[in-house]
Structure 1
Amino acid sequence: MSADPEIISAALLRPVRPGNAFEETVWRLLQTIRLGVLQPGEALPPERELATRLGVSRDTVREAIKSLADAGYLVSRRGRYGGTFLAEELPRQPAGADRVSPAELDDTLRLREILEVGAARMAAGRALTAAERETLWNRLGDVRAASEQDYRRLDSRLHLAIAEAAGSPSLVPLVAENRMRLNTMLDRIPLLSRNIAHSNDQHEAIVLAILAGDADAAEAAMRAHVEGSAALLHGFLD
């Protein structure tokens, strides 16, 4: 006997964790799509119902739906029989791209959390030089002003600058190697404008905490940041 789709849907569309509401909402919607809870052409529950189930605002649901529609997963229709529907044909991985295994994805994301959360905390605990402080501030400005084409490159430069500010030369190549693996995976998923805006706010919180010497805040802000990226990667690649 097959499982009841309503039971599965209720299990997946449960309240998201605070801190990354948009990314978690995208992840939950993608789970229902990729696990086959929704069939091609089938309608999603109304925005109001999704917002209630997920414990987020209707604006967050609307932005998540728009992002997935732009990425080709959903189709919005107006009129008496309108609503949001699963696309008849879902986007595929780039031609020639090998599928990322769950083990590889988990390993990359766990290592990133270990390295980068620790780096943010260590950087905040140091007496940074004027040059180090200026570099962090400049890298933050660069990524905030980045075009979509340059965003991931300048995002990587900011994260490497944070690793450098931690004061351990051995840490930087480890973060760089992990970042290369991470970027290979990020290149397989859409660049979502709402996620970029949220990430930039998180970047600012991380850098400001480091510059203020607040290790707890720097650690918490970086942890929330990497968890948001992890939610999107799991959503699109699992």
Structure 2
Amino acid sequence: MDEPAGLRGESLLRPVRGGNSFEETVQRLLQTVRLGLVGPGERLPAERELATMLAVSRDTVRDAIASLSDAGYLVSRRGRYGGTFVNDVLPALTPGANRDGALAPGRELSPDAIEDTLTLREILEVGAARHAAGRALTPSQRELLWLSLVEASAATGDEYRRLDSRFHLMVGELAGSASLIPLIADVRMRVNELLDTIPSLGPNIAHSNTQHEQIAMAILTGRPDAAAQAMSEHLAGTALLLRGFLE
């Protein structure tokens, strides 16, 4: 992978692996929306383009869009400037699947599930930071990482979570493994689900922004150990808050 997909949905809208093409298409589109790669009010690629990007049929794409429209994430508009758009207001909770396989508004997480999420996140994201710092990044990749850092640092309110997610996904993108991105996206959705249940603390956000800069600078200056250490400390801080409020 020579160039990053950028800060848009292309990071996740890649060929599905088959077998469960509808379910994986729903997952990819949902991750793209929930993580803010295509933000509220923005338009998704056309159905034909999505089908090509995901390597599935247009019928599969259409069914996935219809399902996420019913769940309140997408809206279809007709006319010259029509298409499929992300809803201006998204459902508050990350949906889970109920016993019938349908999307449910949310789900409870056990202490074991919380620990599993935090452990998996550390394994994936610390490794991603280390590998990103060990690669020879192109000027475009370096610019995109810095842009994602600047946007996250300037964000406030509801925008912060979305742009924070973009920064972490960009680090994963720069690690150089296309297979890694959906894994980081999945664990990030699980982390966001946990964060939705605790209060947003201003000092924590300021500290996170400082740690983001440390991570980015270590990657940009080619220091794998420093990047891994900075990411590990950053994730540990979030884990402390989540354990404190939820366990």
- Asked if these proteins are the same fold (TM beyond 0.5), I'd say yes
Paired position in structure 2 for 1:173: 182
Residue 97 of structure 1 and its aligned partner are, at CA, apart by: 6.2
The percentage of aligned residue pairs carrying the same residue is 59
Residue 145 of structure 1 and its aligned partner are, at CA, apart by: 0.3
Number of equivalent positions: 143
What letter matches 1:191 in structure 2? S
Residue 148 of structure 1 and its aligned partner are, at CA, apart by: 1.5
Paired position in structure 1 for 2:140: 131
How far, CA to CA, are the matches of 1:121 and 1:198 in structure 2?
21
What letter matches 2:235 in structure 1? V
How large is the RMSD of aligned CA atoms in angstroms? Answer: 1.1
What letter matches 1:143 in structure 2? A
Kindly provide the CA deviation profile for residues 17-55 of structure 1, in whole angstroms up to 9, marking residues without a partner as x.
Answer: xxxxxxxxxxxxxxxxxxxxxxxxxxxxxxxxxxxxxxx
Kindly provide the CA deviation profile for residues 109-137 of structure 1, in whole angstroms up to 9, marking residues without a partner as x.
Answer: 00000000000000000000111100000
Paired position in structure 2 for 1:204: 213
The answer to whether structure 1 residue 215 and structure 2 residue 224 are counterparts is yes
Task: Identify the structure with bigger relative contact order (alpha carbons < 8 Å, sequence gap 6+).
Answer: 1
Residue 149 of structure 1 and its aligned partner are, at CA, apart by: 1.3
Kindly provide the CA deviation profile for residues 126-167 of structure 1, in whole angstroms up to 9, marking residues without a partner as x.
Answer: 000111100000000000000121111000000000000000
Where do 1:113-124 residues align within 5 Å?
113-124=122-133
Match of residue 110, structure 2, among 101, 110, 114: 101
The answer to whether structure 1 residue 237 and structure 2 residue 246 are counterparts is yes
How far, CA to CA, are the matches of 2:123 and 2:106 in structure 1?
27
What letter matches 2:152 in structure 1? V
Choose 1 or 2 for highest CA Rg.
1
Paired position in structure 2 for 1:112: 121
User: In the alignment, is the contact (CA less than 8 A) between 1:122 and 1:166 conserved in 2?
Assistant: yes
TM-score normalised over the length of structure 2: 0.57
Q: Which has the higher helix share?
A: 1
Helix, strand or coil for the counterpart of 2:240?
helix
What letter matches 1:202 in structure 2? Q
Aligned structure 1 segments of 4 or more residues deviating by more than 6 angstroms: none
Q: Which structure 1 residue ranges, 5 or more long, are not aligned?
A: 1-95
Helix, strand or coil for the counterpart of 2:203?
helix
How far, CA to CA, are the matches of 1:200 and 1:142 in structure 2?
10
